[in-house]
């Protein structure tokens, strides 16, 4: 029987920092699962996704926004998990961490293409957008070379997490199921999508929660530190949103 390492054993690297990585492991999978479930009712392929956006733009924008945010927010958690694997299997941790993060970059690129497709619906209508996307679908881009990393990174990370004892066999298998998530542009939800997102929740959310508990600081000092950091994050986030909307 594999014994999961206790929270006190979680490393605290300068990047991404233990609590940042832990929050990533909790929030990323939950956002991803939420987004996947929001578009469950619509057909998988891009014509139906564009048509659904034309009818329910708010719902589809929320769905794709949650999914893309979940993928991007996962990178600190992946780095933290790789650091734990690296305590016993350094080379495996490097390959697993690098490939998984590269796969997240590819997911972010796909999210940008999704957003463009939806803006075509807003400006030209669903029929015109579907025609344009259909004529350009599958066009090569440098990020196409990362498609193998999108799937293979999670498999390596699961192997490393199991071999290092960070995850037991069932949760390692749940982590590996992330490789089932369909990749590409304007892809809807399938049973495999739900299984992949739920698997990430099963594998990573408890790991992140345990890392968040970690070694306790003095209560007053911890409260002041957390409050200060939350204010800083809120201020920085607001400024970034305003700057982004300014173009």
Tens digits of per-residue pLDDT, 135-144?
A: 999 888 899 8
Domain ranges for the chain: 11-215, 216-247
Q: What is the mean pLDDT of the chain?
A: 89
Place of tokens 């991007």: 72
User: Average pLDDT in the 173-190 region?
Assistant: 96
**Locus of tokens 């809120």:** 234
Residue the block writes with tokens 């997102």: 197
Cis amide linkage into residue 16, ω under 30° from 0: yes
Taking the C-alpha atoms of residue 158 and residue 242, their distance in angstroms, rounded to an integer, is: 38
For 45-73, what is each residue's pLDDT tens digit? Answer: 999 999 999 999 999 999 999 999 999 99
CA Rg value for the chain: 19
Burial category of 158 from C-beta neighbours within 10 Å (exposed 0-12, middle 13-18, buried 19 and up): buried
* The pTM of the whole model exceeds 0.75: yes
Q: State yes or no: pLDDT of 3 exceeds 70.
A: no
Per the listing, tokens 């002041």 go with 224
Using 50, 70 and 90 to split pLDDT, how confident is the model at 16? confident
User: What confidence tens digit (pLDDT) does each residue in 209-234 have?
Assistant: 999 986 644 455 555 565 676 676 67
54 contacts 94 by C-beta, under 8 angstroms: no
**Confidence (pLDDT) at 243:** 62
């Amino acid at each position: 029987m594999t014994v999961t390492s206790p929270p006190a054993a979680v490393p605290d690297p300068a990047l991404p920092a233990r609590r940042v990585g832990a929050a990533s492991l909790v929030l990323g999978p939950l956002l991803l699962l939420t987004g996947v479930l929001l578009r469950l009712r619509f057909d998988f392929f891009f014509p139906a996704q564009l048509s659904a956006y034309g009818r329910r733009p708010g719902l589809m924008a929320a769905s794709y926004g949650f999914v893309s945010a979940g993928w991007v927010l996962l990178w600190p958690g992946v780095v933290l998990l790789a650091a734990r694997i690296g305590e016993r299997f350094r080379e495996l941790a490097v390959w697993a961490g690098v490939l998984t993060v590269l796969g997240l970059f590819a997911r972010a690129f796909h999210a940008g293409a999704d957003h463009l497709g939806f803006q075509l619906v807003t400006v030209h209508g669903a029929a015109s957008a579907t025609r344009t996307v259909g004529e350009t679908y599958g066009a090569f881009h440098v990020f196409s070379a990362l498609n193998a990393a999108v799937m293979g990174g999670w498999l390596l990370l699961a192997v490393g997490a199991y071999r290092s004892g960070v995850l037991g066999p069932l949760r390692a298998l749940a982590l590996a199921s992330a490789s089932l998530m369909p990749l590409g542009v304007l892809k809807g939800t399938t049973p495999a999508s739900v299984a992949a997102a739920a698997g990430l929740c099963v594998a990573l959310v408890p790991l992140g929660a345990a890392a968040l508990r970690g070694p306790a600081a003095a209560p007053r000092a911890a409260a002041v530190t957390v409050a200060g950091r939350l204010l800083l994050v809120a201020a920085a986030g607001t400024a970034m949103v305003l700057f982004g909307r300014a173009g």
